């Protein structure tokens, strides 16, 4: 997928759902620096209580391993590319929300 296929996220409301406070805060820093309004939730229940009030444009969430196959089927039906649809370099370069401060990020 070419770079021009991605739209600008500045000004978008983005919800981050993860049980890890470190992941939520790292994503908040990265997304705020990108110009997003960030809404955080620790779990799905908290997220549901915030979705109607904030109406996020983008939602990032932690997916349970046992739900992955079913979710991938739904995404494929709707034409959403999955991680294996990208080259390894691109996939790993997008892996860390704390880029460039994260030691796991590939630059």
Over its length of 107 residues, how does the chain's per-residue pLDDT go in tens digits?
A: 333 333 577 888 999 999 889 889 988 988 888 888 999 999 888 988 898 899 999 888 877 778 778 878 877 887 777 778 878 777 666 555 555 565 555 54
CA distances from 83 to 1, 25, 45, 64, 90 (A): 12, 23, 27, 16, 9
Cis bond leading into 100, ω under 30°? Answer: yes
Query: How much is the pTM?
Result: 0.57
Which tokens hold the place of 68?
Answer: 């992955």
Distance CA 77, CA 73 (A): 6
Pairing of strands 37-41, 13-17: parallel
């Amino acid at each position: 997928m070419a770079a021009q296929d991605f739209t600008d996220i500045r000004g978008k409301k983005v919800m981050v759902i993860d049980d890890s406070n470190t992941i939520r805060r790292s994503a908040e820093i990265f997304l705020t620096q990108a110009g997003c309004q960030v809404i955080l939730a620790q779990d799905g229940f908290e997220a549901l209580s915030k979705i109607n009030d904030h109406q996020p444009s983008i939602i990032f969430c932690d997916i349970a391993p046992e739900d992955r196959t079913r979710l991938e089927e739904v995404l494929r039906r709707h034409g959403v590319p999955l991680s294996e649809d990208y080259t390894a370099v691109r996939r790993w370069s997008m892996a860390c929300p704390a880029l460039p401060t994260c030691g796991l990020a590939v630059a």
